[in-house]
Structures are given as C-alpha cells and as structure tokens.
Amino acid sequence: MSLSVRCRVKRCLLLGALWVYAWPSQAALTLDEAVAIARDNDPWLLGSEYRESALKAQSTAAGTLPDPVVNVGFVNVPTDSWDFDQENMTQFKVGVMQQFPRGDTRALSRQRLALLGSQYPHQRDERRAKVTANITQLWLEAYRAQESIRLIELDRELFEHLVDVAQSSYSSALGRTRQQDLVRAQLELTRLEDRLAVLQERRAVARARLGEWLLLAPAAESSMDPVWNEGERYDQELAPTLPQLELLQPQLYSGSDEVPAPVLARHLQRHPAILSIERRIDASRTDIELAEQKYRPQFSVNAAYGYREDDPMGNDRADFFSVGVAFDLPLFTSKRQDQQVQSAIADSEALRTEKWLALRNMMAAFATQRSRLQRLEQRRELYRSRLLQEMQEQAEASLTAYTRDDGDFSEVVRARIDELNARVEALDIEVDRLQVISQLNYFFAGQLAGAGGGES
C-alpha cells in the first residue's frame, strides 16, 4: 500500500470523526422533550382526574340523608257503594317517611370514598414516573440504533476504500494483496451492510414504539373522538448526544455493600405506588367500621295526615294525624353482621399483604438494578481508560505494518472490525447505564423533577 493510499484512508477516518462531532442537531428530539410530550398526551392522567372527581361527588352524596318517601292514598273506602262519606274510617291520607342510616354510616361512607379518592394523586405521580422511565427506555433504544448506524456508516466508507485499495493492489500485481484479501474485504463490507439493515429495522421499531406516546393527545371534553396532532415528530431525528441523568439518592450507591433493608424500605415507602396502597388500606379500615355499624338499629320516622269528609247528615268529622318510629332489631348477628365484619377485616389484611409484596418486589428490583449499575460503571471506566485506546492503537499498528509490507491485509481488516465492535459496545454500555439509572430513579419517584438535565 502506497503512502498516498494510506493518507487517503486516514483522511477518511478523520472526515468521519468530524462528521460524528458535527452531526446537525437542528430540530432534533431531546429526551426531555419526548418525556414532556408523552406526559402531556397521556389520556390515562386525564382519566384519573375524572375518576377522582367522580369519587369526590360520590363522597358528598354519601354524607346526605336518603330521600324522604311520600305516601298518598285512600284508606278504608267501602266496597259496597264506594262513597267517600259513608264510613267514619274512610279518609284521604298523605304521609311522609324519613329513614336514618345506622349509627355513623353516613359519615363513615363519606370518609371511605374520600380516602379512595385520595389515592388518585399518588397514582398519577406513579404514572408520570413510569412514563418517564418508559420514554427514557424507548428514546435510548432509538438513540442506540441511530448512533450504531452512524458508527457503522463511518466504517463502511473506510472499508469501501480498503476494497478499492485491495482491488488496485491486486490488479497491479505490484503489492502483496492476494485474492483472498480482496474477498475478505468485500465480505466484511457486505457484513456491514447486513448490520446496517438490522439496525435500521431496530431504529424503525424503536421510533414506532416511541411514536405511540407522541402522537395521541387527550380527548376533548366536547368530543368523544381523540385529537391527533400532525405527527411530525414520529420520524424525527433524535438529539446527537446522550442526556446527563443524575442518580436520585446518590448516597445509596456509595460502596459495594448492599443497602440495609430498613434504610431502603424507608425510602421506598414514600413511593407513590406504596402511598396509593396505603390510602386503600385506610379506606379498608373504614370498611371495618362501616361493617360494625350494622350491629346498630336502623331508624325511620313517619308522619301522616288523614282527611275525612262530613257524614251523610252534614256533621263534621275530625281529621286524623299519625306519627311513628320504626327500627329493626339486629338480634341474629352470628350469621350476618359477624361475618360481614370478618370479611372487612380479611380484605384489609389482604391489602396489607399487597403493600408488603409491592415493597418487597421494589427492594429486589432496586438491588438488581444497583448491581447492574456497578458492573456497567466498571466496564465504562475500562472502555474509557484503556480498551478503546488500545483498540485504536492496534488498528493503527496493523495498518502501519501492512503499509511497510510487514503485515497481513486480513489483520488490518480484523483490527478495524474489532475497533468498530468496541465502539459499538462502548455505546451499548453508555445506553445501558442510562437505562439502568432511569429505572433506579423510578424507585424514588416522589423526587423526580424531569427526565434529565442538560446534554452531555
């Protein structure tokens, strides 16, 4: 390989490197923008607000007395003549009855529904945190495919030059290039084309999954149909640099020892998902009190006015007024009230187990992701401090040896492929690390302020 050819190869590498750092960022979709769009266009959040409003309205209604019952009718009408003034007891009667629920049922019902409604703000906080984590995963997957394509396209230009060089050297019969070297260079170029096709498919899939969150807007109140935006962001290029995600609660990641379970549990108990379950547990305690109210009698008060006509002789008849109180007697409680209380207690205890199961799952998931982050940090440091530099030096050394007729062409190709694979693997480590950080930050959702900071 002549000196001019070697210079052309190095110029290709230099131009490619400049292309990497000068990648245009105009109108590129950043992670923060994607998270903001996804949150604003999440119909689940709007539905949650409607459900909370519904429970608030039910809570107000549950605290009021039942509607009074009005009775209107004719009483003791003789069937032989159907005359209204024939008999003394014949009357036109108007009555009203008001029922009073057992004990504190009204106040407890209002309290129960208010507690159930109070879980929805926590559910929305948890949903926002989950959306942030999901969008971060999807955005980073799309970024991984986009940047891998860029790295491979950079090396494809280099391999195209190597194929040209091998062809020229083989045709001139002046160099040491053999036919198998030419075939090897062309084979590696074909493999790069295949890798590009696979990555382009992954990029399309990742963008489509990301586009699910960016296209649909909340339904308008005046229409049952969803409002669609223009969709210009569906195929939008992503920002050319990775976001800088900071770990929440960084003190939990210092050292290699596991975080003590009581310390971790104290942090995770403030998670919105756990707080939502606690609101349901509070409501279940009210269910127990409501069941206990069934031991008390239920009262109803009724009053009636009976109008009578004058007798057939024209004598005045006095009208009637009636008033009374009715109540039930919960005497046989072993098969009904006792069982209803036991059922409410069991439901409450079941919710407690649900809370501890959720907390235990979070603790196990946190420990897993924390361990992954430690391993990725070690690999990231290794790639940054040594491996990438050593791969580059190996590629340069193999190219230099070949230009001095002291190396093998296949070794040049192999070294370049190894260097490319190392750069792609370094990209995978960076992306995996940020994905793990986003998952770890989800566990401290109450402190989430956004998807990430500035661009690194």
DSSP state of 397: H
- 3-state secondary structure at position 73: strand
Q: How many C-beta atoms lie closer than 10 Å to residue 272's C-beta? A: 21
On the question of pLDDT at 221 being above 80, the answer is no
Burial group, residue 149, by CB count within 10 angstroms (0-12, 13-18, 19+): middle
Architecture label for domain 3-447:
Up-down Bundle (1.20)
Beta bridge partners of 29: 238
371's CB contacts (< 8 A; 6+ apart) are: none
Q: How many C-beta atoms lie closer than 10 Å to residue 212's C-beta? A: 12
Query: Please, are residues 428 and 160 in contact by the beta-carbon 8 Å criterion?
Result: no
297: nearest Cα among 325, 261, 339: 325
Question: What pLDDT is stored for residue 276 in this prediction?
Answer: 96
Q: What is the pLDDT of residues 394-451, one digit of tens each?
A: 888 887 887 777 767 777 778 888 899 999 999 999 999 999 999 999 999 876 543 4
More confident residue, 312 or 31: 31
Rounded to whole angstroms, the Cα distance separating 250 from 266 reads 15
Q: What is the pLDDT of residues 360-379, one digit of tens each?
A: 999 999 999 999 999 999 99
pTM to 2 decimals? 0.80
Each domain of the chain, given as residue ranges in start order, spans 3-447
Structure tokens at 369: 């992701």
Could you tell me the pLDDT band of residue 247, with boundaries at 50, 70 and 90?
Answer: very high
Rounded to whole angstroms, the Cα distance separating 430 from 242 reads 8
Q: What is the pLDDT of residues 306-362, one digit of tens each?
A: 999 888 888 888 999 999 999 998 888 888 999 999 999 999 999 999 999 999 999
Longest dimension (CA), the chain: 146
